[in-house]
Chain A
Amino acid sequence: SQTIHQWPATLVQPVGSPLSLECTVEGTSNPNLYWYRQAAGRGLQLLFYSVGIGQISSEVPQNLSASRPQDRQFILSSKKLLLSDSGFYLCACKGQGKTDTQYFGPGTRLTVL
């Protein structure tokens, strides 16, 4: 079964600084990959998803970008963080089949001060 790694686990960054969060997946090939954000006490907001290397779809306009340089690596970035970027960022993966299940990583808690 697949394992999803995220790092760092926690991050405190000043407003205006850059961001790079990394997600890697083991135990599966050619997965769909997803980045979600969860604000405090709120549900999940899908930010980006990718069905293959270099293929990124954005769900909402925002200050963030995503890249998939390798099959099992998904990176979330920002050039200049905003206070509103604070939250819990979750990476998820899913097989490409219609009935495959989505699995989640442990998350990264980002605090922008």
Chain B
Amino acid sequence: GEDVEQSLFLSVREGDSSVINCTYTDSSSTYLYWYKQEPGAGLQLLTYIFSNMDMKQDQRLTVLLNKKDKHLSLRIADTQTGDSAIYFCAESGKNNGQNFVFGPGTRLSVLP
């Protein structure tokens, strides 16, 4: 069945780069997504990548996709304290694209 896995915690120093990793099992996903959840809030779509792309860059965010290994990563350059949040990876292959499968979320802590 569909499954998305992420490491649960990541700590980095302010100004360093953060890399959040995700693996998924459903190869039929057209898009793969990264969402950000700040404390007490809903999920905010950060970025997404089309499944036939290897990389997408958007300002401080870089998404890398290794489709062969079903591995997705999110790199945040020059990490700031405002980047502290939970980051969810999601794939959209379930039920012909109607349902997303989310990973457990990676809690990013940015240390001063």
In angstroms, how far is the closest chain B Cβ from the Cβ of A110? 13
**Structural contact, B42 and A104, CB atoms closer than 8 A:** yes
**Structural contact, B45 and A99, CB atoms closer than 8 A:** no
Of the residues A4, A43, A105, contact of B104 by C-beta under 8 Å: A43
Closest B-chain residue to A100, C-beta based?
A: B97
| A39 to B45 alpha-carbon distance, docked (Å) | 20
B98 CB–A CB distance under 8 Å? yes
Q: Which of B44-85 contact A (CB under 8 A)?
A: 44-45, 48
In this complex, the member of B33, B88, B97, B98 whose beta carbon has the largest number of chain A beta carbons within 10 angstroms is: B98
Residues of A within 8 A of B105 (CB): 42-44
| A102 to B44 alpha-carbon distance, docked (Å) | 10
B1 CB–A CB distance under 8 Å? no
Closest A-chain residue to B51, C-beta based?
A: A99
Interface, chain B (partner A; CB < 8 A): 30-31, 33, 35, 40-45, 48, 88, 90, 92, 96-100, 102-105
Instruction: Give 4 nearest A-B pairs by CB, closest first.
Output: A98-B97, A43-B104, A104-B42, A104-B43
Pairs A–B under 8 Å by Cβ, sample size 13: A34-B99, A43-B88, A43-B104, A44-B102, A98-B30, A99-B31, A99-B92, A99-B97, A101-B48, A102-B45, A102-B100, A104-B43, A107-B42
